[in-house]
Amino acid sequence: PRTEIQSPDPLQKSKVGNFFKKSFVIVRVCVWVCSLRSAYPCSERLKNAGFVWSPSVGHEELQQGLGVSVKVTVISEHFREPLTFTCDGSSTVDLLIYQTLCYAQDDLDHVDVDDYLLKVCGQNEFLNKNHLVLTLSCFSFSLFSPKYHCICCQFCCAFCCLFVKHILCFEKGYIIIECYTLYVTSCVLCYFFVFLFSILVSPVHSLSFFLSLSLSLYRSFPRVCFPVQINQLPRESQLTVTLYASALPPPGGAEEKGKQRRSIEALGWVTMPLFNFRQLTAEDKRLLWEKRAFCQAESAALPLVLASAPRWEWACLPDIYALLRQWVCLSHLDALGLLHASFPDQELRRTAVQWMDSISDAELLDFLPQLVQALKYECYLDSSLVRFLLRRAIGDIRIAHYLFWLLKDALQDSQFSGRYQHLLAALLCCVGRGLREEFDRQCWLVTILAKVAQKVRDTTSSRQTVLREGLEEVKQFFSVSSNCRLPLNPALVVKAINIQSCSFFNSNAVPLKLSFQNLDPKGDNISVIFKSGDDLRQDMLTLQVIRIMNKIWIQEGLDMRMVIFRCFSTGRGRGMVEMIPHAETLRKIQVEHGVTGSFKDRPLADWLQKHNPTDDQYEKAVENFIYSCAGCCVATYILGICDRHNDNIMLKTSGHMFHIDFGKFLGHAQMFGNIKRDRAPFVFTSDMAYVINGGDKPSSRFHDFVDLCCEAYNLIRKHTHLFLNLLGLMLSCGIPELSDLEDLKYVYDALRPHESEADATMYFTRLIESSLGSVATKLNFFIHNLAQMKFASSEERPVLSFAPRVHTVKSDGLIRNLYVCRHVRTYNPSKGYAFVVKVEREGQQGAVLVQRSFEEFHELHSKLRLIFPSSKLPSFPSRFVIGRSRGEAMADRRKDELNGYVWHLVHAAPEIAQVKMTWSPVSGKELGEVKLSISYKSDKLFIMVMHIRGLDGTDPDPYVKLYLLPDPQKTSKRKTKAARRTCNPTYNEMLVYERIPLGDLDQRVIHLRVLGDGAFWENTLLGETYIALKKLVPGQHWVDWHQLGTAGTESTR
């Protein structure tokens, strides 16, 4: 609600209106918007295309495409069948178009490549940004005016600066507020007589004004009473000045005044440090400012140098501005940090925007939410940042689209809604009538969907009926509007809704699962989730940071196979989320093995095997799982993402794992009383390790996983300042769990920028071990399974974990006979026996042999019992036996029992007789090797013991012992901790030798021994090797695998 001001005198109102027309701010903004529109005429295709361009990659990502082949399929009216060919990853779009035309045209002499574009099938998105053929017109222009928020903030800033100046000069350490009362009153009257009446344009109520002065620590302290002893305040204290307006009651009796409720609205506020909280002494600042010319080699040091400036008064500004002109141009990421509230100087902010001007459209989209928040820190509406954003928006539909929805969402901020209203009006004026009508349709569609979601959530029964009735209004919307772009992505254009395919999720917010019909006939239906009642801004920010992390990894040549999906807030409490196809939650995968499936190791591996039946497919899926799981572990740990139950983690059939629903982050975990629900550093469970290892024993692939995690973690640590800037600019956006510096400190502590890469590697290795050993995560999954049992649908049929697909009579033929031929010895995933089953089907030549374990037969029987009564099923052999259950005699007996079971099963009722069976392969064995990272610096030899693979032995407890030869006195012994019951341990432990002269390296040899930790001090030598240090280059890391020698047996003490 807007607080209004009414002038009692009509003549005064006329004067106010005349004064308003003379506002130089309005005139400047309007003139600039007119010139901007003129620079992008609708008739000029190069500047005003009307296309949504596909985001381009940067130069670093482009280098990754060199030498990579890409398979391209082109569909065109020029040829009947789709054209598929292979090209180099660095090929340009023009080259693809030309290659396509070579197939379609016999004579290219009269064909202009510039007349053709490549469009992404299924999306209204194009791959060419240089040659345009279609336009959107820009006709209308709207005049707008700033509200009072900007002026009030300027007043608060001026007052706060003066107040702090006097406080810091006060000698006795007390704040005496009374002496400023008269001065403040005169300032208020003077300021508002001059400026405030310039914004009065409509009949409004009278106001009374008052100031609120408070001290806060990270904005968490309540309002304090004065006087306050300054020397008792923390250094991080901040002074906040807020100007409030309270509507005066109408004239009348005391009774009427009592009934009138006085509403109070904050017109503006400003917060600034009470002390210089930076860890720089006066001497440090003086020295840094004096030697500022020598700091230009490190361009990222500019914010620190500017913070050391002695004063920001008029007399010092020429030196500061001269430094800006001499400074090397900052990168886009570093310049972003200069737009924070800590640097309010307009010339500095103008320079920062100028440095960002060369940023590409794709990169700009990555940081657009932060730039929208940075608009709050501009002193004037007509600023360089405002002009920059509007100029980029008018040149790219995608930027205009997302800027529109970000500004619309920011209107909910009561303190800055006036400024954002003007910017939104300027944007709509710039983009023209075509996009304005498109935005109106999107807003209309979102409003309808919000009403439907509210009705479904408020209904306790027959929700599906209410949903379908509500979606009839959406159907009417599309009868009026032929198509509409989705707010989630401007390239997604839909023309209808598939009501029969829509449903809802059984969660607290009851989000809707919607299916839209694609406008492009070559594209699939578009499925999205619409949420009403949840604040999606936190999800947006989390996914934005993960997307930037993924780009950093790719730029460094490390593709973590991350699944990046879109999430966008269309207003407070509502928004859209992209649905990823061919994916299931971990809960649904685990409950296929029963409600206790979260405690078992095989569910994920069996599910991937089911959807990837061949060896090559399964190996590719496991590879995707290893990379994506490592990326998720690093990202969720750094951002402190909590509430990680198994319905918030999903797995694609291709093996890619990803997280959803980021309602808790930065360590704000849900609590059970005084106990945190998320106890592990991140989610990494034994069933995930089972997929990585290919069984329940550690393998060399687990080493690769640990190395990937540590490498990805160290790459993100190099960009600590970037992520602190991104999150710092969002402190004022109103996200409850990102509100003060303590939240930023959580990310800083997680990144540990002060540590070396070796220390960080050891640290993250311990986190992996802690997460893998956490029972709380599996218990959390189990509790969630129990809570979700009441939502289970009776229509869902259980699925066999070992079946790659559903077999039917129509697709595969009726099973005529089943016979268990023999048993075979197996060693993977565990020692035992499997049974070879001969399957004969009608219409199939010959029999098919498949291999099944006794446990898989038992799973089949258990799943059948969930569907059919036990009276209709044959009895199953007992799982419990006396004696050795893995012996050959037991396997013979079970073979006969299983033959009887499958005979009765085949001759049972037709709906029971269809079974699903596949065969799974067995993997091989590795040799014994040890991986070390050796480096030398400052007379110190650093040896990091990383991994060992392929040890010879039956589940030993290995540890590593080192000697630095020659060592006649045996004083150089170093050793690691012992790993438990594994032939492929991971250590990542640093062993250090000090006082090693550089000249001695050539004569030094590392004697490395791997021993099995035995009882009563009797250890077994599993392998050893000697490593000469002649190859070691000081200052460099020597990382390599070293072959272990033949293992003998030795007793040590």
Query: Tens digit of pLDDT for each residue in 323-355?
Result: 888 887 888 888 888 888 878 888 888 889 998
Mean of the pLDDT values across residues 71-88? 77
Write the pLDDT tens digit of every residue in 408-420. 999 988 888 888 9
Mean of the pLDDT values across residues 519-528? 89
Phi-psi region of 594 (alpha: psi -120 to 50; beta: other; left: phi over 0): left
Write the pLDDT tens digit of every residue in 892-906. 888 888 888 888 887
- The H or E element spanning position 544 is helix 537-555
Residue 261 to residue 68: CA distance in whole angstroms: 70
Longest dimension (CA), the chain: 109
Structural contact between residues 703 and 987, judged by C-beta atoms closer than 8 angstroms? no
Mean of the pLDDT values across residues 496-505? 90
Pairing of strands 675-676, 671-672: antiparallel
Residue 294 to residue 289: CA distance in whole angstroms: 10
Q: Given a cut of 50, is residue 177 above it in pLDDT?
A: no
Residue 233 or 402, more confident: 402
Residue 699 to residue 926: CA distance in whole angstroms: 8
Backbone angles phi, psi at 516, to 5 degrees: -105, 150
Residue among 770, 841, 912, 34 nearest 390 (CA): 34
Considering Cα of 199, then 205, then 206, then 212, what sign does the dihedral take? negative
What residue ranges define each of the domains in the chain, with the CATH number in brackets?
10-23+145-273 (no CATH), 59-115 (no CATH), 534-571+592-782 (1.10.1070.11), 809-906 (3.30.1520.10), 929-1043 (2.60.40.150)
Residue 905 to residue 899: CA distance in whole angstroms: 10
Backbone angles phi, psi at 157, to 5 degrees: -60, -45
Residue 329 to residue 872: CA distance in whole angstroms: 79
C-alpha separations of 161 from 115, 157, 211, 263, 305 in Å: 60, 6, 15, 29, 21
Burial of 843 (0-12, 13-18, 19+ CB in 10 A): exposed
Q: Given a cut of 80, is residue 215 above it in pLDDT?
A: no
Q: Which tokens in the block code for residue 1018? A: 């009797």
- The H or E element spanning position 238 is strand 237-247
Per mean pLDDT, which of 19-23, 210-214, 526-530, 948-952 is the most reliable? 526-530
Q: Given a cut of 90, is residue 657 above it in pLDDT?
A: yes
Write the pLDDT tens digit of every residue in 115-129. 777 788 878 777 754
Residue 370 to residue 728: CA distance in whole angstroms: 9
Q: What is the CA radius of gyration of the chain?
A: 34
Residue 358: the pLDDT is 86
Please provide the average confidence, as pLDDT, over all residues in the chain. Answer: 76
Q: Given a cut of 90, is residue 136 above it in pLDDT?
A: no
Residue 768: the pLDDT is 94
Residue 409 to residue 734: CA distance in whole angstroms: 11
Write the pLDDT tens digit of every residue in 557-605. 899 999 999 999 998 889 999 999 999 999 999 988 888 888 989 999 9
User: Residue 362 carries which DSSP code?
Assistant: H
Residue 45: the pLDDT is 63
How many residues are there in the chain? 1053
For the ranges 272-286, 435-449, 726-740, the lowest mean pLDDT is seen at 272-286
Residue 122 to residue 103: CA distance in whole angstroms: 23
> Is the link from the previous residue into 227 a cis peptide, with omega within 30 of 0?
yes
Residue among 502, 486, 501 nearest 452 (CA): 502
Residue 105: the pLDDT is 73
Cβ within 8 Å of residue 270, ≥6 positions away:
153, 156, 157, 160, 240, 241
Residue 872 to residue 916: CA distance in whole angstroms: 19
DSSP 680-696: SSS---HHHHHHHHTSS
Q: Which tokens in the block code for residue 315? A: 């007399």
Residue 830 to residue 695: CA distance in whole angstroms: 8
Residue 827: the pLDDT is 57
pTM for the whole thing?
0.70
Three-state DSSP state, 267: strand
Write the pLDDT tens digit of every residue in 792-848. 443 345 566 666 555 666 666 777 788 888 887 775 555 678 888 888 877 777 777
Structural contact between residues 16 and 280, judged by C-beta atoms closer than 8 angstroms? no
Cβ within 8 Å of residue 422, ≥6 positions away:
29, 144, 145, 146, 147, 381
Residue 551: the pLDDT is 92
Burial of 704 (0-12, 13-18, 19+ CB in 10 A): middle
The b-or-e profile of 1011-1025 (16+ CB within 10 A means b, else e) is bbbeeeeebbbbbbb
Residue 60's pLDDT band (boundaries 50, 70, 90)? low
Q: E strands within 725-841?
A: 815-826, 832-841
Q: Given a cut of 70, is residue 423 above it in pLDDT?
A: yes
Residue 1037 or 1046, more confident: 1037
Backbone angles phi, psi at 1039, to 5 degrees: -110, 120
Residue 628: the pLDDT is 96
Give the type of residue at 755.
E
Phi-psi region of 198 (alpha: psi -120 to 50; beta: other; left: phi over 0): alpha
Residue 987 to residue 797: CA distance in whole angstroms: 44
Structural contact between residues 159 and 180, judged by C-beta atoms closer than 8 angstroms? no
